[in-house]
Amino acid sequence: MKKEFRDLLREKGRKTMPNVLLASAECAPLSKTGGLADVVGTLPKALARLGVDARVITPYHRVIKDKYKDRVEHLFTIRCYLGWRSCYVGIERLILDGVIIYLVDNEQYFGDRIYYGGYPEGEQYSYFCRAVLEAIPLLDFMPDVIHCNDWHTAMLPMLARTQYRGRMQEGMKYLLTIHNIAFQGKFGFDYVQDLLGVDAKYYTSEFMELYGCADYLKAGCVFADRINTVSPSYAEEIKSSYYSEGLDGILNARSAELSGIINGIDTTVFNPRSDPLIPAHYDRAHMKGKAVCKAELQHRMGLDVDPDIPIIAMVTRMTEQKGFDLVASQLDRLVSGRDVEFMLLGSGEPRFEDFMRGAEARHKGRVCAYIGYNEELAHLVYAGADFYLMPSRFEPCGLSQMIAMRYGTVPIVRETGGLRDSVQPYNCFTGEGNGFSFANYNADEMYDTILYALGCGSDKKVMRYLVSHAMEADFSFDLSAEAYARLYLCML
Ligand code: ADP
Domain shared by 412 and 466, yes or no: yes
192 inside domain: yes
Distance 140 CA to ligand 1 centre (A): 36
Distance 193 CA to ligand 1 centre (A): 36
282 inside domain: no
Domain shared by 387 and 412, yes or no: yes
Q: How far apart are CA 122 and CA 152, in angstroms?
A: 8
Band (35; pLDDT cuts 50, 70, 90)? confident
Q: How far apart are CA 407 and CA 386, in angstroms?
A: 10
217 inside domain: yes
In the chain, the number of structural domains is 2
Band (314; pLDDT cuts 50, 70, 90)? very high
Domain shared by 253 and 338, yes or no: no
In degrees rounded to 5, what are phi and psi of residue 394? Answer: -145, 150
Counting from 1 in the atom list of ligand 1, the atom nearest the Cα of 265 is 14
3-state secondary structure of 411: strand
Rounding to the nearest 10 degrees, give the CA dihedral for residues 244, 250, 253, 258.
-60
Distance 375 CA to ligand 1 centre (A): 9
How far is C-alpha 177 from the chain's CA centre?
11
Which region holds residue 101: left if phi is over 0, alpha if psi is between -120 and 50, else beta? beta
Q: Which domain holds residue 121?
A: 3-264+477-491
Distance 325 CA to ligand 1 centre (A): 18
| CATH of residue 394 | 3.40.50.2000
Tell me: pLDDT of 306 over 90.
yes
Distance 293 CA to ligand 1 centre (A): 20
3-state secondary structure of 130: helix
Domain shared by 483 and 343, yes or no: no
Domain shared by 209 and 297, yes or no: no
271 inside domain: no
**pLDDT > 70 fraction of the chain, expressed in percent and rounded:** 100
Q: How far apart are CA 172 and CA 162, in angstroms?
A: 14
Domain shared by 380 and 486, yes or no: no
Pocket around ligand 1: residues whose beta carbon is below 6 Å from it?
34-35, 315-317, 345-347, 373-375, 378, 398-400, 403
pLDDT in tens, 159-182: 999 999 988 888 899 999 999 999
Q: Is 183 exposed, middle or buried (0-12, 13-18, 19+ CB in 10 A)?
A: middle
CB 359 within 8 A of CB 367: yes
For a substitution probing ligand 1, which of 400, 405, 416 has the most ligand atoms within 8 Å of its CB?
400
3-state secondary structure of 216: helix
In degrees rounded to 5, what are phi and psi of residue 26? Answer: -145, 155
Nearest to 220 by CA among 152, 120, 280, 279: 152
Distance 363 CA to ligand 1 centre (A): 25
Mean pLDDT of 22-48: 93
For ligand 1, atom 14, name the residue with the nearest CA. 400
Domain shared by 416 and 455, yes or no: yes
Distance 317 CA to ligand 1 centre (A): 7
Q: How far apart are CA 287 and CA 409, in angstroms?
A: 12
For ligand 1, atom 9, name the residue with the nearest CA. 399
pLDDT in tens, 336-364: 989 999 999 999 999 999 999 999 999 99
Neighbours of 441 (CB within 10 A): 18
Give 58's strand partners.
103
Distance 207 CA to ligand 1 centre (A): 34
Counting from 1 in the atom list of ligand 1, the atom nearest the Cα of 397 is 7
278 inside domain: no
275 inside domain: no
Give the CB-side neighbour count of residue 378, counting CA atoms within 13 A: 17
Domain shared by 116 and 259, yes or no: yes
pLDDT in tens, 211-264: 999 999 999 999 999 999 999 999 999 999 999 999 999 999 999 999 999 999
Nearest to 177 by CA among 470, 458, 480: 480
3-state secondary structure of 173: strand
Band (109; pLDDT cuts 50, 70, 90)? very high
400 inside domain: yes
For a substitution probing ligand 1, which of 301, 374, 399 has the most ligand atoms within 8 Å of its CB?
399
For ligand 1, atom 7, name the residue with the nearest CA. 398
- The pLDDT assigned to 292 comes to 98
Domain shared by 401 and 483, yes or no: no
- The pLDDT assigned to 168 comes to 85
Q: How far apart are CA 421 and CA 437, in angstroms?
A: 11
- The pLDDT assigned to 18 comes to 96
283 inside domain: no
CB 156 within 8 A of CB 148: yes
Domain shared by 260 and 302, yes or no: no
Mean pLDDT (the chain, rounded): 96
Bridge-based pairing of strands 213-215 and 186-187 is antiparallel
Q: DSSP letter at 18? A: P
Domain shared by 460 and 481, yes or no: no
- The pLDDT assigned to 266 comes to 86
Domain shared by 365 and 231, yes or no: no
- The pLDDT assigned to 239 comes to 98
Please state which of the ranges 25-34, 97-106, 384-393, 461-470 shows the lowest mean pLDDT: 25-34
